[in-house]
């Protein structure tokens, strides 16, 4: 049985060894492992536990070709056996989320009072976001946290990942069949597979330049 110190050391090692990989071997990612990694990604926290994010795993030839076009011909979707598209669902709060409240109540994680009040609390909060034009932003945050969880989980499983920029959102949405959905947004693309290259750590800026106490720059 591992100790807390051992667990912390393992997590630290995994985080520090992760690199963004551009080139991949064609070896497939086993379906049970892919399921486990996406399950771990969905363990990520989300605002009000509404879970306003979803993941589309693309591994078929047609889908990968479409993502290659959407990313301007970058190598990741041409080589990685799986591309994960993290989708932010800005209208999730308007949908029925009774399963969320019921599950939390059944697990004893939320009191009956808290669970009963949650639908109204969520509605009021998100109506405020909508008035300020922040619905999309909040959903994207939830999706990005989930993507971060997946990248760490994949590294621990011996796989490589790369979060991708440089894609056309409209084309990515068309590639995964949501081109007509204004309430769904692309937060991030993540390549997943077995690395075909080794990348050295490029280093990080001195923490005195990026970590402060109480106020920024202090």
Average pLDDT of the residues of the chain = 95
What confidence score (pLDDT) does residue 13 get? 95
| Secondary structure of residue 216 in the 3-state scheme | coil
CA 197 to CA 179: how far, in whole Å?
34
Dihedral, CA of residue 12, residue 148, residue 20 and residue 9, to nearest 10? 10
What confidence score (pLDDT) does residue 102 get? 93
What confidence score (pLDDT) does residue 4 get? 83
Residue 43 within any structural domain of the chain: yes
- pLDDT tens by residue, 166-190: 999 999 999 999 999 999 999 999 9
Domain that holds residue 74: 19-88+143-200
What confidence score (pLDDT) does residue 41 get? 98
Would the pLDDT of 1 be above 60?
A: no
pTM above 0.85, yes or no: yes
Residue 111 within any structural domain of the chain: no
Q: By the 8 A CB rule, do 48 and 118 touch?
A: yes
What confidence score (pLDDT) does residue 131 get? 96
* Residue 152, both tokens: 């760490």
- pLDDT tens by residue, 75-134: 999 999 999 999 999 999 998 889 999 999 999 999 999 999 999 999 999 999 999 999
The mean pLDDT of 186-214, rounded to a whole number, is 96
Residue 180 within any structural domain of the chain: yes
Residue 183 within any structural domain of the chain: yes
What confidence score (pLDDT) does residue 2 get? 62
The mean pLDDT of 27-55, rounded to a whole number, is 97
The mean pLDDT of 19-23, rounded to a whole number, is 97
Would the pLDDT of 205 be above 90?
A: yes
Check which CATH number belongs to the domain holding 184 and give it.
3.40.109.10
Residue 191 within any structural domain of the chain: yes
Instruction: Give me the number of domains the chain comprises.
Output: 1
Neighbouring residues of 38: CB distance < 8 A, sequence distance ≥ 6: 55, 57, 84, 150
Residue 13 within any structural domain of the chain: no
What confidence score (pLDDT) does residue 182 get? 96
CA 90 to CA 71: how far, in whole Å?
23
């Amino acid at each position: 049985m591992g100790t807390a110190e051992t667990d912390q050391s393992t997590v630290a090692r995994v985080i520090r060894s992760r690199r963004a990989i551009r080139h991949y071997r064609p070896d497939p990612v086993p379906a049970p492992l892919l399921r486990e990694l996406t399950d771990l990604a969905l363990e990520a926290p989300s605002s009000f536990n509404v879970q306003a994010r979803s993941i589309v795993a693309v591994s078929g030839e047609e889908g990968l070709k479409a993502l290659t076009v959407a990313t301007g011909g970058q190598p990741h979707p041409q080589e990685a056996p799986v591309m994960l598209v993290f989708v932010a669902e800005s209208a999730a709060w308007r949908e029925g989320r009774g399963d969320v409240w019921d599950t939390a109540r059944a697990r004893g994680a939320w009191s009956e009072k808290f669970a009963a009040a949650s639908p109204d609390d969520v509605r009021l909060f998100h109506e405020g976001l909508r008035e300020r034009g922040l619905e999309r932003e909040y959903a994207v945050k939830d999706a990005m946290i989930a993507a971060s969880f997946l990248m760490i989980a994949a590294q621990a499983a011996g796989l490589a990942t790369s979060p991708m920029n440089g894609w056309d959102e409209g084309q990515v949405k068309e590639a995964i069949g949501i081109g007509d959905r204004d309430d769904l947004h692309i937060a991030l693309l993540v390549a997943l597979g077995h690395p075909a290259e080794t990348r050295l750590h490029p280093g990080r800026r001195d923490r005195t330049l990026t970590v402060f106490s109480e106020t920024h720059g202090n």
